[in-house]
Structure 1
Amino acid sequence: MAPTSLQSTYKLVSGYEIPVVGFGVYQTPPDVTEQVTRKAIEIGYRHVDSAKYYENELESAAAILNSGIDRSKLFYTSKVPTSCMGYEKAKKAIEESIAAAKGLGYIDLMLIHAPYGGKEDRLGAWRALVEAQKAGHIRSLGVSNYGIKQLEELEEYIKNGGGGQITVGQYEIHPWCPRNDIAAWLQKRNIVVEAYSPLVQATRMKEPVLQELAKKHGKTEAQILIRWSLQKGYVPLPKSVTESRILENTQVFDVSLSDEDMASLNFNTHEPVCWDPARDCKI
Structure 2
Amino acid sequence: MGVCVYEAIGQSGVPREAIFLTTKVGSPRRMAGRGDVYQDVVETVDDRIAGVDGYVDLLLMHVPGPSRDYRQRLWAAMEMAKSKGRAKGIGVSNFRVRHLEELKQYATEWPPSANQIECNISYTPGASNEMS
Whether TM-score is above 0.5 comes out as yes
* Contact in 2 for aligned 1:98/1:107 (Cα 8 Å): yes
* 2:129 aligned partner: 183
Contact 1:130 1:164 (8 Å CA) reproduced: no
CA-CA distance at 1:80 after TM superposition: 0.6
Structure 2: which 5+ runs fail to align?
Answer: none
Which position in structure 2 is the counterpart of 1:114? 63
Deviations 1:162-191 (A, max 9, x none): 3354011112211111223211110xxxxx
Superposed CA deviations along residues 13-54 of structure 1, whole A, max 9, x for unmatched, are xxxxxxxxxxxxxxxxxxxxxxxxxxxxxxxxxxxxxxxxxx
RMSD (Å), alpha carbons: 2.1
1:72-122 CA distances to partner (integer Å, 9 max, x unpaired)?
1111011113134732222222223345x446x321110010111310111
**Is the CA contact 1:86–1:123 (under 8 Å) kept in the aligned structure 2?**
no
Contact 1:78 1:97 in 2 (8 A): no
Query: Could you tell me whether the CA contact under 8 Å between 1:90 and 1:125 is conserved in 2?
Result: yes
Q: What does residue 15 of structure 2 align with?
A: 70
Residue 169 in 1 paired to residue 115 in 2?
yes
Structure 1 residues 169 and 61: alpha-carbon distance in aligned structure 2, compared to 1, 3 A threshold: farther
CA contact (8 A) 1:86 1:120 kept: no
Whether the 8 Å contact between 2:37 and 2:73 is mirrored in structure 1 is yes
Q: Is 2:48 aligned against 1:97?
A: yes
Q: Which of 155, 158, 165 in structure 1 is aligned with 2:104?
A: 155
2-side partners of 1:59 and 1:173: how far apart? Answer: 30
CA contact (8 A) 1:91 1:125 kept: no
C-alpha distance in 1 between matches for 2:109 and 2:60: 15
Residue matched to 1:140? 89
> Normalising by structure 1, what TM-score?
0.41
SS at match of 1:136: coil
Letter in 2 for 1:152: E
Structure 1's consecutive aligned runs of 4 or more residues displaced over 4 angstroms after TM superposition are none
Q: Which runs of 5+ in 1 are unaligned?
A: 1-55, 187-283
Higher relative contact order (CA 8 A, sep 6+): 2
TM-score where L is the length of structure 2: 0.81
CA contact (8 A) 2:26 2:74 kept: no
Query: What pairs with 1:23-38 in structure 2 (closer than 5 Å)?
Result: none
| Structure with max Cα Rg | 1
User: What is the letter of the counterpart of residue 70 of structure 1?
Assistant: P
Aligned pairs, number: 126
1:182-229 superposed Cα distances (whole Å, 9 cap, x missing partner): 11110xxxxxxxxxxxxxxxxxxxxxxxxxxxxxxxxxxxxxxxxxxx
